[in-house]
């Protein structure tokens, strides 16, 4: 009799602890949800000095950049390996992505400014089903002349899925991913990341 009551008491105690943990967890998550998607949304991207937002492919930081070969707008095959020894910015973008189109002129500006230090910028379109001509027209309208490469889902998967755009990988001369951003950073943040990438991986 006493044993049965003890078992019942333990069970009630266990359930009470589980219940309390569940409620506590719910409250905690509700509190977090008051600031939705904080890792993705700088309040004022243009003048925010906080660290760049996290990306899905952030786990690639410090690792070798996944290799790829894609087709450019003229039909030529372009490989990441072609740029070995150069700091490379790999920017995933799409013609339908407003923030992408607004940050791309900065990549254009910095590709000229840091050309002497070997900087290369590659724009990887994520416009599934679009023709190279459509993508070329959009790139021209945006005002970029660096290589634009056509999409391949397998490459996006290698880079963490690229579930939201823009997503940018900063790759040093040794082929290692120095940093990753999702969402458009401020211009100052972008330049700082480029400088960091140029400085990393040896001269």
> Where in the sequence numbering do the catalytic residues fall?
100
Q: Does 49 bind other proteins (CB under 8 A)?
A: no
DSSP assignment of 68-126 equals -EEEBTTS-EEEGGGGTTS-EEEEEE-TT-HHHHHHHHHHHHHHHHTGGGT-EEEEEE-
Helix (H, G, I), strand (E, B) or coil at 1: coil
Binding test (CB under 8 A) with other proteins, winner from 46, 76, 79, 81: 46
Q: Does 25 bind other proteins (CB under 8 A)?
A: yes
Site for other proteins in 179-198 (CB under 8 A): 182-184, 187
Binding test (CB under 8 A) with other proteins, winner from 70, 122, 138, 193: 138
Q: Encoding tokens for residue 91?
A: 């920017």
Q: Does 30 bind other proteins (CB under 8 A)?
A: yes
CA 76 vs CA 67, 149, 151, 185: distances in Å? 17, 9, 14, 31
Helix (H, G, I), strand (E, B) or coil at 188: helix
Q: Does 57 bind other proteins (CB under 8 A)?
A: no
Using CB under 8 A, list all residues that contact other proteins.
Answer: 1, 4-5, 7-8, 11-12, 15, 18-19, 21-23, 25-26, 29-30, 32-33, 36-37, 39-46, 53-54, 56, 94-103, 105-106, 126, 138, 161, 163-166, 182-184, 187
């Amino acid at each position: 009799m006493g044993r049965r009551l003890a078992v019942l008491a333990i069970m009630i105690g266990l359930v009470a602890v589980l219940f309390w943990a569940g409620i506590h967890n719910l409250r905690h998550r509700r509190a977090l949800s008051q600031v939705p998607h904080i890792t993705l949304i700088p309040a004022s991207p243009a003048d925010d000095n906080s660290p760049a937002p996290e990306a899905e492919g952030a786990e690639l930081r410090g690792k070798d950049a996944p290799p790829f070969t894609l087709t450019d707008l003229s039909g030529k095959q372009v490989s990441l390996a072609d740029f070995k020894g150069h700091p490379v910015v790999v920017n995933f973008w799409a013609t339908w992505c407003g923030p992408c189109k607004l940050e791309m002129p900065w990549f254009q500006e910095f590709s000229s400014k840091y050309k002497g230090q070997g900087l290369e910028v590659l724009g990887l379109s994520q416009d599934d089903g679009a023709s190279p001509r459509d993508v070329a027209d959009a790139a021209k309208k945006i005002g970029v002349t660096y290589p634009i490469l056509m999409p391949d889902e397998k490459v996006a998967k290698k880079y963490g899925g690229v579930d939201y755009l823009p997503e940018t990988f900063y790759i040093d001369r040794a082929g290692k991913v120095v940093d990753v951003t999702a969402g458009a950073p401020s211009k100052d943040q972008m330049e700082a990341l480029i400088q960091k990438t140029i400085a990393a991986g040896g001269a």
